[in-house]
Structure 1
Amino acid sequence: MDPRTEHETTTAVPPGRVTLSDRRTRRSWPVEVGPYRLGVFAVTQASYAEVTGLAPSTARGGRLPVEGVSWWDAVRYCNARSEKEGLTPAYDLPPLPGDTGTVAWDTSADGYRLPTEAEWEHACRAGTTDARYGQLDDIAWHRGNSLDRVHEVGGRRPNAWGLYDMVGNVWEWCWDLYDAEVYASYRVLRGGGWFDEHWSCRASVRRRSHPTFRIDDVGFRVARTVVG
């Protein structure tokens, strides 16, 4: 597939119910998820450059997932892509420069956004209940098979809903705060990355990071609300 058009590829995800869990607090909670659309792939470097004109990644390649992007970079990309495609931006963002302040999400907007972590896990599982939707080496780039580098999107087997690299390759930013009372503005990351051991590449694993954090194993994929 042409990496210049991969950012246009989203697929419908059916509604459902998912139970999130946190090992630190030993807490679990059910979430009802409505229908939405999700990127078949993590956003690629070609897609990110086309929308923003920027090339932040350490590794270089149009079909590689963009990495070295913060949560703020991801939500600004979502708005920029929405505007480029004539959609209503999902986020009310503070002006540049500076990645501080409050972000408001217009849940009725049809533009691009980050998935919630419930949406992310629901899509990752694709109706399965095991730790992963397939054998790890078949579905993911991780520390045991990545040769210590990021890989092109779509190189492993997809899940039952046609979504690639939901575990491994790069961690993916989600919309949610991790735990506002304890970690303030830290946001949720999901999925595990190319440098992670097998236990981090599971559907249920949650990680947290400051929204300005940038590193070479963190990227994102986009979602869209189904309007009407």
Structure 2
Amino acid sequence: MDGCANEEMAAVPGGRVAPADRLTGRGRPVDVAPYLLGTVPVTREWYARVTGERPGDGGAGTGRLPAEGVSWWDAVRFCDVLSRREGLAPAYRVDGDRVEWDASADGYRLPTEAEWEHACRAGTGGQRYGPLDEVAWHRGNSGGRPRPVGGRRPNDWGLYDMLGNVWEWCWDAYDAGAYGAYRVLRGGGWFDEHWNCRAPVRRRGHPTYRGGDVGFRVARSHPAPAHGAA
């Protein structure tokens, strides 16, 4: 399949996942409730329609490329603007440099780290949900640039580009005690070697960071998970 509707959301079943701890390398089991997740990362075209801004080079024919060069704060704002446009309750309440997640809201949000890894694995126990070149754009096959979303094979839950193409922002702080406001990035990107394009790999980024290989996808609670704040 060469592309799919960017607004399409997949129903992700509940389950249990154990993201690895940064220091110990051991996972702590986390129960994940059912939720909805975008089948592909947010594209430049969709981002521009919602926000009026054009991430990336903004050139012709690039609409199906992932919206890269967006910060965690950009992603949070996108979610709230999109929620209001669709008549949904925004998931985030922003007060200066603080944002609180309203778990009772039905609007769009970023996935938690546990939700992201659970969705990426799609019930499999391995490092990847298929052979690397079949499921991911990475340094070895991307040609040194981001690629249109949905161009590789999806996982068993119909989710594309969970590995490779762009790193994806998650809601969670990376390690607040050691890194303060830094947030979790997952999935690996088009410039990464194969070892970064694995389900358990984590990266951190300041919430204002706009990297050329960093994007995001949206989630919605289905039903709402536990409340969180940052």
Q: Letter of the 1:32 partner, please give it.
A: D
- Contact 1:58–1:67 (CA<8 Å) still a contact in 2? no
Q: Give the one of 193, 198, 215 matched to 1:202.
A: 198
Q: Letter of the 2:91 partner, please give it.
A: A
Report Cα offsets for 1:165-190 as digits up to 9, x if no partner.
Answer: 00000000000000000000000000
- Contact 1:22–1:206 (CA<8 Å) still a contact in 2? no
Deviation of 1:59 after TM superposition, in Å, equals 6.4
**Unpaired runs of 5+ in structure 1?**
95-99
For normalisation by structure 1, the TM-score amounts to: 0.93
Aligned residues: 222
CA distance in 2, matches of 1:75, 1:34: 21
Q: Give the one of 123, 126, 130 matched to 1:127.
A: 123
Whether 2:67 is the aligned partner of 1:66: answer: yes
Deviation of 1:7 after TM superposition, in Å, equals 3.5
Deviation of 1:22 after TM superposition, in Å, equals 3.3
| Map of 1:25 onto structure 2 | 24
Q: Give the one of 106, 110, 113 matched to 1:114.
A: 110
Q: Letter of the 2:7 partner, please give it.
A: E
Matches within 5 A, 1:11-160: 11-58=10-57, 60=59, 61-94=62-95, 101-160=97-156
Deviation of 1:24 after TM superposition, in Å, equals 4.0
Give identity over the alignment, percent. Answer: 66
For normalisation by structure 2, the TM-score amounts to: 0.93
| Map of 2:162 onto structure 1 | 166
Report Cα offsets for 1:123-172 as digits up to 9, x if no partner.
Answer: 00000000000000000000010110000000000000000000000000
CA distance in 2, matches of 1:39, 1:58: 23
- Contact 2:2–2:151 (CA<8 Å) still a contact in 1? no
CA distance in 2, matches of 1:23, 1:118: 14
Q: 1:147 is paired with a residue of what secondary structure? A: coil
Describe the shift of the 1:134–1:225 C-alpha distance in structure 2 as closer, same or farther (beyond 3 A): same
| Map of 1:177 onto structure 2 | 173
Deviation of 1:115 after TM superposition, in Å, equals 0.1
**Unpaired runs of 5+ in structure 2?**
225-230
* CA RMSD in angstroms, aligned pairs only: 1.7
Q: 2:20 is paired with a residue of what secondary structure? A: strand
- Contact 1:44–1:64 (CA<8 Å) still a contact in 2? yes
CA distance in 2, matches of 1:218, 1:59: 16
Q: Letter of the 2:215 partner, please give it.
A: G
Deviation of 1:85 after TM superposition, in Å, equals 0.4
